[in-house]
Amino acid sequence: MTVALLGPADIRRLADEIGLRPTKKLGQNFVHDANTVRRIVQLSGVGSGDVVLEVGPGLGSLTLGLLAVGARVHAVEVDPALAQRLPTTVAERAGGAADRLHVLTADALRLAASDLPEAPNALVANLPYNVAVPVVLHLLGELPSLRTALVMVQTEVADRMAAGPGSRSYGVPSVKLAWYGTAKKVAAVPRAVFWPVPNVDSALVAFQRGEPPAQVPADEVFAVVDAAFAQRRKTLRAALAGWAGSAQQAEKLLRAADIDPAARGEQLAVADFARLVAVRG
């Protein structure tokens, strides 16, 4: 099946047609380079038989690329004008694939599994940069069927998502994402492939779901992670005083979990945080 991917002139024409003025508030930067779209789809590893969740399809650049390889696509778009135009764009440029597209006008941060007609196994998206991490974490928690992801985010965010303990970029996003699996920064994306051109660099992050490191509730692990990183310069004994009830109790729990009370949050892996929650009971 032949699919006509969007180029720079197509993007401008579609934007003019619906009176679109891209806004920073919604993180609207649209990919207009077909080779970049093909690269994203290739790196995602999706193909015929995959059910893909795409967040923020915008004018349809990546949507068309995903449909071209035979995937079924559930596109979640918060902008009603863009959501309304997307099926028409697909019908015009990939008519034979129109029945494999489902568009939902919704905020991905509030998306529930019950909102989708089937369970997606892959997330592939050019995410709005201002909400990228919250969206990914929400979807991984809400949709256990998601086994893989490939997301385009700001380079600085990509570094944080893929960082390991002790590294400069390691923080709350790194630990929480590691609860669900393994993230890796796989490619840089030049600014010139977007319209409008963003004032930040972009990168692709690949994710593979794994098993949680312990049988404890995710929200309890995330609560102690938040506390540990709220004041990065403090030792865990001090940083977790509020979470544990007192500095003395925090030290007791840390020692019981075989964690140095003088350590800082950036030195701990997600399994360490999970062990601390398990000790607290």
Q: Which of 152, 181, 209 is the last residue of a domain?
A: 209
CB 89 within 8 A of CB 156: no
The reply to whether 52 and 81 lie within a common domain is yes
The reply to whether 25 and 88 lie within a common domain is yes
The reply to whether 200 and 225 lie within a common domain is no
CATH number at residue 238: 1.10.8.100
The reply to whether 222 and 95 lie within a common domain is no
The reply to whether 150 and 203 lie within a common domain is yes
Question: Does 31 belong to an annotated binding site?
Answer: yes
pLDDT at residue 29 tops 90 = no
- Taking CA atoms, 1 is separated from 41, 65, 92, 98, in Å, by 16, 12, 13, 12
For the record, the structure tokens of 222 come out as: 């995330």
- Taking CA atoms, 185 is separated from 19, 61, 132, in Å, by 35, 22, 14
The reply to whether 134 and 237 lie within a common domain is no
The Cβ of residue 259 has, within 10 Å, a number of other Cβ atoms equal to 21
The reply to whether 53 and 174 lie within a common domain is yes
pLDDT band per the 50, 70, 90 thresholds, residue 135:
very high
Question: Does 29 belong to an annotated binding site?
Answer: yes
pLDDT at residue 119 tops 60 = yes
pLDDT band per the 50, 70, 90 thresholds, residue 128:
confident
The reply to whether 83 and 29 lie within a common domain is yes
228 phi and psi, to 5 degrees?
Answer: -65, -30
Question: Does 77 belong to an annotated binding site?
Answer: yes
Q: Is residue 27 part of a domain?
A: yes
Q: Is residue 122 part of a domain?
A: yes
The predicted structure's pLDDT at residue 26: 56
Q: Which of 178, 209, 240 is the last residue of a domain?
A: 209
Higher pLDDT, 103 or 232: 103
In the block, tokens 């990919």 appear at 31
Quick one: three-class SS letters along 71-114? CEEEEEECCHHHHHHHHHHHHHHCHHHHHHEEEEECCHHHCCHH
Q: How many structural domains comprise the chain?
A: 2
- Taking CA atoms, 179 is separated from 46, 172, 273, in Å, by 23, 11, 10
- Please give the mean pLDDT across all residues of the chain: 95
Instruction: Report the amino acid identity of residue 131.
Output: V
Q: Is residue 1 part of a domain?
A: no
The reply to whether 67 and 168 lie within a common domain is yes
Of 75, 129, 128, the C-alpha closest to 101 is: 75
Q: Is residue 3 part of a domain?
A: no
CB 46 within 8 A of CB 73: no
For CA atoms 64, 65, 70, 74, give the dihedral sign. Answer: negative
Q: In what helix (H) or strand (E) does residue 123 lie, and over which residues does it extend?
A: strand 122-126
Q: Which of 165, 184, 209 is the last residue of a domain?
A: 209
pLDDT at residue 28 tops 80 = no
Residue 74 domain boundaries: 8-209
Question: Does 164 belong to an annotated binding site?
Answer: no
Q: For 63-67, what is the mean pLDDT?
A: 98
d(CA 150, CA 129): 14
User: What phi-psi label fits residue 266: left (phi over 0), alpha (psi between -120 and 50 degrees) or beta?
Assistant: alpha
pLDDT at residue 24 tops 70 = no
The reply to whether 46 and 85 lie within a common domain is yes
Instruction: Report the amino acid identity of residue 181.
Output: G
The predicted structure's pLDDT at residue 2: 87
User: Virtual CA dihedral for 260, 261, 263, 266, nearest 10 degrees?
Assistant: 110
The reply to whether 234 and 139 lie within a common domain is no
The reply to whether 145 and 248 lie within a common domain is no
